[in-house]
Structure 1
């Protein structure tokens, strides 16, 4: 049986994953801030990390030292974090995902296909809502969907992104991919991608009713990754999309 260790075990996602792993007997344990990640990695066949961006460097170092594959579901990562992941993926298998829901990753593929087929005459807006405690915006999932839209248009999201409009000069730029972030209550995660043209609209969306969907996806990703060679992977690799 594949043993899965959890980095960030006391967070919302860590607890959801642990509950499922305890039921299956494949839980290798968990650590949080100040814990011994190396010891956890040594006792695990694969790690899942839902901690914080500041902890990523130490977690990657431990995973590389023990040559343990790792699923990274932590959001709020910047370019320096992605550079660290790229470097670590030369030695170990890493799957990094802004969202581990199977439904969301299928949605990303649909968004990419729609952006390719519809072309630049259709404006793209991404709206997301999460619980009041979420600290990063746009969400990792919104950025995942934005990347999918940008890929469909063969453009760069960093250039096309148009987040957080405010003020009196907010006309959208041609080819922009807009983002709107809402926060409130206990929403696990709602995402909608709107394609708007003259006289018509297409709306593609996903609603998460609980965190268990992300936990199930993360576990499935970890089991798949445990047998993969060194490299950087995404959820669509696991889904064969």
Structure 2
């Protein structure tokens, strides 16, 4: 099988560097491009220089230059940047692995439309462990559909700009779907003052931000006389990078279509 030619968006950032290192260490992948925002200090430098093993791939702000040799783009940036990349990739048949979070409904619709022109894996969390956890939550929600209050608690580093996390929201969607509910109707994102008794159909969210927490997620099913907690904790972003490469492998034989990590892992 030919080596996958992969470009990385946000190449100067922490996640970008983790992705570059994962591509560098993979036997079946080659770093074919690197993107970052114009004005970023890394523009023009070798994307793999930080590894002490230059790849001969400069970090570019121009999409045509940065993606000229790429078959795949892995993007963990911001919604506005990802949507710009999406338009270019759809027009040029470049497959995308999107781990960016914080999209509004219009952004999600744009991704779905682009998937008619190129193949995309779109997931708020690329970790294999997190996505197995999603399957466990679906199973648990069906068993705890009556008499259990559901709360989702997530913690991330101080630099994360969206809340709740995309992973927490996805967990809520998985649980709500399993219960035949719409998360938009039952989600409670904040509590303060006299709130009244808890609506038993609601799904609550609590957000913690601090330090260098990579990502912790706990779903609490609280019943009378017992409570069940399903928790996933990330110690390193490397799990997201490895999951992204697994997603790229999944897309190799696909030309179009919108997929998520449940598809990649065969958990449907």
2:260 to 224, 230, 234: 234
* Structure 1 residue 170 displacement after superposition: 5.0
Whether the 8 Å contact between 1:8 and 1:50 is mirrored in structure 2 is: yes
Whether the 8 Å contact between 2:32 and 2:67 is mirrored in structure 1 is: no
In 1, the alpha carbon distance for the partners of 2:63 and 2:180 equals 39
Q: Deviations over 1:152-202 (max 9, x none)?
A: 101111111111212222532221111000011111000000011111101
In 2, the alpha carbon distance for the partners of 1:186 and 1:64 equals 35
Partner of residue 48, structure 2: none
1:133 aligns with 2:169: no
1:181 aligns with 2:207: yes
Aligned pair count?
Answer: 241
Determine which structure has the larger helix proportion and give its number: 1
In 2, the alpha carbon distance for the partners of 1:211 and 1:38 equals 28
Partner of residue 26, structure 1: 30
In 1, the alpha carbon distance for the partners of 2:195 and 2:180 equals 27
In 2, the alpha carbon distance for the partners of 1:77 and 1:195 equals 28
1:124 to 142, 145, 150: 150
After TM superposition, where is structure 1 displaced by more than 4 Å over at least 4 residues in a row? Answer: none
TM-score, normalised via structure 2 length: 0.87
* Structure 1 residue 26 displacement after superposition: 1.3
Whether the 8 Å contact between 1:45 and 1:226 is mirrored in structure 2 is: no
After superposition, residues 189-208 of structure 1 pair within 5 angstroms as 189-208=215-234
SS at 2:4 equivalent: coil
* Structure 1 residue 147 displacement after superposition: 1.0
SS at 1:146 equivalent: helix
> Who wins on radius of gyration, i.e. which is larger?
2
* Structure 1 residue 23 displacement after superposition: 2.7
Query: What's the C-alpha RMSD, in Å, of the aligned pairs?
Result: 1.3
Higher relative contact order (CA 8 A, sep 6+): 1
